[in-house]
Structures are given as C-alpha cells and as structure tokens.
Amino acid sequence: MSRSTVVAAYDRLAAEGFVTSRVGAGTFVSDELARVRRSASGRANGVLRPRAIWDSVDLPTVFAHPARFDFRTGLPDASLFPHRTWRRLVARAMRVSEKAEGTYQHAAGWLSLRAAIARHIGVARGVEASADDIVVTSGTQQALDILARVLVSPGDRIAIEDPGYVPPKLLFRSLGISVIGVPVDRNGIVVDALPRGVRAVYVTPPHQYPFAVTMTLARRQALLAWAERNDAAIIEDDYDSEFRFGDRPVEPLETLDSSGRVIYVGSFSKTLLPALRMGFLVVPRSLRSALHKAMYVSHWHAPTLTQTALAYLIDDGDFARHVRQVNRIYRERHEIIARAITGDFDDHLELLPSTTGLHVAALAKSASVAQIAAVARRAAGAGVALQALSSFAVRGAGRPGIVLGYGTIHNRLITEGLRVLRRCFDD
C-alpha cells in the first residue's frame, strides 16, 4: 500500500477518536474504546421496552407474496400508470429544483400542487376549495394521524365503521384514543347506532371499505345532523370516488356541510400508485393553523420533487386523461366479477350493490366465518388471493363473506381465477 493511503487511514482514525498518537511512542487504540466496546456477540438486546399497545399491532402481510389470481383490495394496476409521462414531469421538476434554493417548504405543501388539487376536486367532485384550504400529506394514513393529533385527545372516543379499514383503528388506539365500532348496512354507517360523547367519526361514504356500498343521501343528511347535535367532527375519506360506474356521482359530505364540521380526505394511491405516498386534506378555516403546525412537528411536508411533478400532471390535463382511461378498464373488470358472483356463485354468495371503486363484497348465504376462512385458505393454496370479510371487523368475529379487488388483476385472468375459487367453495 502507498504511504498516502496509510496516512489517510490513520488521520481518519485519529479524527474520529479511535486512535491517539504520542510523540516518540507511536499510535495506539484509544483508551475510550475499551469502555464502550460491545460484546463479541454483536449488538445488545437492550433493556428498553415499547408501550404495550405495539404488542397488539401486526405488520401487514397481505401484499407480501405475489399471486397468480390477485383479488386483493387496495391495489391499482401499476401497468396502467403513465410511466413515460411521469418520468418526463419528474425531470422537469428536477430542472426547476436546480434553480430553487432547496430549502424546507411550507408545512401545508407546495403551493402549485395545492392550487392544482383545489381545481381538480372542484371539477371532479364539486368541492369548493382554494389552495389555502388544502394540506398535502403522505397518503391517507398520515392525514388521519395529524387530524387525530389536532382534534382528539388521549382518552377521547372516535367512531369508525364496522367492518372498516383496519389501519385507522390501530392508529387511533396507538394515540390513546378509544375506538368505537359502529355497524354498517346497505345504506352506509348506521347513524342511530352512534353513541353520545364521540369526538369524531371516520367514514368512507362513496365506496364503503370493505362493504363497497355507497352512503345514501338520507343517511348523509342524518350523519350531518348527528354531528351538529353532538358537536362532533366528521372525517370523510372519499375512498375510490374517482372510479364511478353509475350514471351520476354522489356528492361528498363536504358539499352538504354548512357548518364546517367535515374534513375531506383524498389520496392518489389508487388513481396513480401507492408508492407515491401522496394525499391531501380539505380543512375548515378553524383548523387550518393547527393542522399546519401538526404537519410541521410530525413530518414538516411531503417530498417537494414528487409534489411538483404531480402538480404538472394535474395542470397539464394528463391526470384527468389517465383517470378516464383506467376507469373504462376497471369498469370492465367490475362487470365481469359482478356477473360471475350473481351467476356462478349464486348458491353461495350475495353480491352487495356497488357502482364505485376497485373492489366488491359478497355476503355468504349459509357458510360461517370459519367456513369462509377455510375457503380463503384453499384459494390461497390454489393461487387465488382474496380477503375474508370477517378480517375487517372492528369488534367481534365479523360477518361471513369475501371481498374481491380487481385493481391489479387483468381481465383475461379474472374468469379463470373465479373458476378456481368456485372449486374451493365446492370443496
């Protein structure tokens, strides 16, 4: 080795405190290392212990393994994502960032993206909002996190749909919030079952997860009246609302709200990709400052480069074109599955009505929760990935049935996959 390499190595060891030099004696390992040296077995196990709540949370495994016939929910078709357009817009955003200072941005998000989102939801969903009303988040889960920090204190109660989306339940409980499951029927959340003393209620009106039903106008009006009487907030997750197969879209709760009790939550995970981790809130003015502060102390802001590219995608019209194109494809998949359930599975399943979103749900006509779980296990062994309806229960054993997503499975595989699933029922 050359002398310069050795000298550089010694200089670095000395600069980081690993060795000390004594004139006339040489270079020696620092005495300090002896006191901090770990055992030969590696890192210590540690004596610190997490809060007990984390013992009850399991990391998701539903997406861990690929399946030939993938009917899992929550996944869009990645092959439909406008990859070429996105690469061009990211390169454009990077050229802009070269000229910018590269500093931290406003906690509410990139102004151009907030303005683009406001215009988009005004056209697509009838939500009247300005850029000042928008808070950009890293997906729905972070949106719910900062809302809970701002609206609800530890020990307070929050109501969620039962069955419902599981991660919010775990999130709220981890913050010390008591979670109350409220039943859902074919018209949406059962408002008469909402208890008193609830600080907020989290709902998915356009496409209930996992029942896939749409909350009726009468039920929406009843929910708004309940919130007014009980001085409660409504967190409206406009889940899957971009994909509509009916004649007329249903208005969001936010458009019916006259007192500023509804916080509207949106996401680009299904319309684009979950990997982008992009979502947003439309917030009442009374909460605006507090939510900006909650973003600042917890996350500061979503990645600016992604925000800039997404703003270009919306403003250039590429996002609206993409949604129209994929909507036609998802409509076909929805129709194939709906026909099969009402025909080939009529003796086993009852399809719940659905005209929106990327999944359908079907109730078992006679099978038990345990029997449906056995069908799901047999299906998994045959290469068919689906979810049992009971896995979404907030309390109790849940209801027997299945949930079939069609976001990521191609048309040519749907029919074959359903034939395999039918044999699993017959067995």
Q: What does the pLDDT look like over 292-333, one tens digit per residue?
A: 999 999 888 888 899 999 999 999 999 999 999 999 999 999
Same domain for 61 and 92, yes or no, is: no
Instruction: Give the count of domains, the chain.
Output: 3
Same domain for 115 and 140, yes or no, is: yes
Which tokens in the block code for residue 389? Answer: 């309806």
User: Has residue 44 been placed in a domain?
Assistant: no
Which tokens in the block code for residue 347? Answer: 């003796």
User: Has residue 252 been placed in a domain?
Assistant: yes
For the entire predicted model, the pTM comes to 0.87
User: Has residue 52 been placed in a domain?
Assistant: no
Distance CA 157, CA 93 (A): 43
| Amino acid in the structure at residue 70 | D
What does 156-180 look like in DSSP terms, one character per residue? Answer: -EEEEEES--HHHHHHHHHTTPEEE
Q: Which of 268, 295, 319 is the last residue of a domain?
A: 319
Q: What does the pLDDT look like over 331-382, one tens digit per residue?
A: 999 999 999 999 999 999 999 988 889 999 999 999 999 999 999 999 999 9
Same domain for 178 and 314, yes or no, is: yes
pLDDT at position 379 is 95
Same domain for 328 and 314, yes or no, is: no
pLDDT at position 46 is 81
Same domain for 199 and 299, yes or no, is: yes
Q: What percent of the chain clears pLDDT 90, i.e. is strictly above it?
A: 74
Average per-residue pLDDT in the chain?
91
User: Has residue 47 been placed in a domain?
Assistant: no
For residue 21, give Cα distances in angstroms to 1, 7, 29, 44: 21, 13, 9, 31
Task: List CB contacts of 141: < 8 A, sequence separation 6 or more.
Answer: 167, 168, 171
Q: Which of 319, 352, 380 is the last residue of a domain?
A: 319
Same domain for 278 and 148, yes or no, is: yes
Give the DSSP letter of residue 244. B
Tell me the residue range of the domain where 387 lies: 57-80+324-426
Q: What does the pLDDT look like over 145-201, one tens digit per residue?
A: 999 999 999 999 999 999 999 999 999 999 999 999 999 999 999 999 999 999 999
Same domain for 196 and 338, yes or no, is: no
| Residue 357 near residue 402 (C-beta atoms within 8 A) | no
Which tokens in the block code for residue 386? Answer: 């689906």
Q: Which of 54-68, 121-135, 333-347, 364-378 has the lowest mean pLDDT?
A: 54-68
pLDDT at position 246 is 72
User: Has residue 48 been placed in a domain?
Assistant: no
Same domain for 274 and 372, yes or no, is: no
Average pLDDT over residues 17-35: 83
Same domain for 402 and 276, yes or no, is: no
| Amino acid in the structure at residue 311 | A
Q: Name the strand (E) or helix (H) holding 215.
A: none
User: Has residue 124 been placed in a domain?
Assistant: yes
| Amino acid in the structure at residue 146 | I
Average pLDDT over residues 377-394: 94
Q: What percent of the chain clears pLDDT 70, i.e. is strictly above it?
A: 95
Same domain for 132 and 269, yes or no, is: yes
Same domain for 167 and 72, yes or no, is: no
Same domain for 95 and 189, yes or no, is: yes
Q: CA-based angle 355:123:264, to the nearest 5?
A: 70
Which tokens in the block code for residue 231? Answer: 């001085």
Q: Name the strand (E) or helix (H) holding 311.
A: helix 304-315
Which tokens in the block code for residue 341? Answer: 């359930």
pLDDT at position 99 is 60
Which domain CATH number covers 93?
3.40.640.10
User: Has residue 41 been placed in a domain?
Assistant: no
